[in-house]
Amino acid sequence: MEDQDPADFDPRLGKQLGGYIVVARVADGAMGRVFEGRHPDTKERVAIKVLHDHVARDKVASERFKREYEAASELNHPHVVKVLEFGQTPENSSFMTMEYLVGKELGGVSGKGAPLPNAQVVRVICQTALALDHAHSFGFIHRDLKPDNIFLRATDEGDDVRVLDFGSVKLQMETGAKLTAMGTTLGSPYYMSPEQATGSADVDQRSDVFALGAILHEMLTGKITFEAINVALILMKIMNESPVAPSSKNPTITAAMDEVAQLALQKNKAKRYAGTLQLAEGMLKAYGLEADVKKWASTPTKEIEAALMKVNPASVPPPPPAPAEAVTPAPVVSRRTDSAPPPSTSMMSPAGVSKGLPRGALIGIAVAVVVLGALMMLR
């Protein structure tokens, strides 16, 4: 048995944090380390996120982590990650316990050069829109919506969304401590609204609409909506440039969907959709589907594909052809059109006689055969 790499060992393994035993190290991020936890009695499986020690010493980062728990704990919604506990470790760091998710982040499948299937777009956008609308109803603005914060649980019916990371959340009537200094921005630059890019304090649910619009555009095209070599150029594009129409990158997209993306990504927030549900409804109408976000959010992907095929066959590309099976070719049989009998292969093998013999020798052989046949008839 090989010795364990000391770098992989964590002293928290086997210890108890809150109501759960730390049983395995799962992943590391910029903010903290994620462990698998198990309840000692029920064996319930959970994820335990622990802040790195140096992050825990940062008051703003520590407060943001606490706010992530507080916001998510208020949002009892099937498409918002469920949090269970918040506490302090013996080393004076903070930990948060949440439901254990198996799947992948949307960032792992979108923006990779190829559009996502339209049925998947419908289901994911509808579920995400419902989660954000629920948060907005509590006065919470996410402010950092991006594909990496949209987790996709794989189920038999299709993707099951969990919106993550409410650490950047803003209350529309904020009473708590401010987490950013005046003039700074908060959020991922690729999905930041123009008002966030300018450092404006006037941020509301329409900033989340802009981010969801950028994510929709990316899912439809396979390309990041506002892409550049550095943050400054990304923000300049967000503030000054309109993205290309999705239909120019994806032939299954209609002009109606181009209008949806354009409306969601308006520079002036007053011209955008008023909320994420309105954006999702616009998307459904552009696909030719009934504008019932809840219905399509819970509809299996296969049924969405069938509905899309019915209203617009071009929206569902045909599956790739199955690989052809190897077939042994049948022997080629020569069909003669004259009445002459075929040559005797016992007498003249093409591979043995005709190949490589001079013309005179072939004529001599033919004459000998004829004479021999005549002699045999005379006998």
DSSP, collapsed to helix, strand or coil, labels residue 266 as coil
CA 207 to chain centre: 22
Distance CA 185, CA 195 (A): 9
Closest of 30, 53, 26 to residue 38, by C-alpha: 26
Closest of 86, 87, 127, 135 to residue 106, by C-alpha: 127
Length of the chain: 379
Angstrom distances, CA of residue 326 to CA of 232, 323, 329: 56, 9, 9
Q: What angle do CA 264, 267, 268 make, to 5 degrees?
A: 95
Is 5 a residue of the active site?
Answer: no
Distance CA 76, CA 93 (A): 26
> Residue 202: left if φ>0, alpha if ψ -120 to 50, beta else—which one?
beta
Contact 265, 225 (CB under 8 A): yes
Distance CA 238, CA 240 (A): 6
The terminus-to-terminus CA distance of the chain in angstroms comes to: 93
Angstrom distances, CA of residue 72 to CA of 60, 102, 210: 18, 19, 21
Give me the catalytic one of 144, 159, 165, 258: 144
State both tokens at 132. 């954000």
Indicate which residues carry an active-site annotation: 144
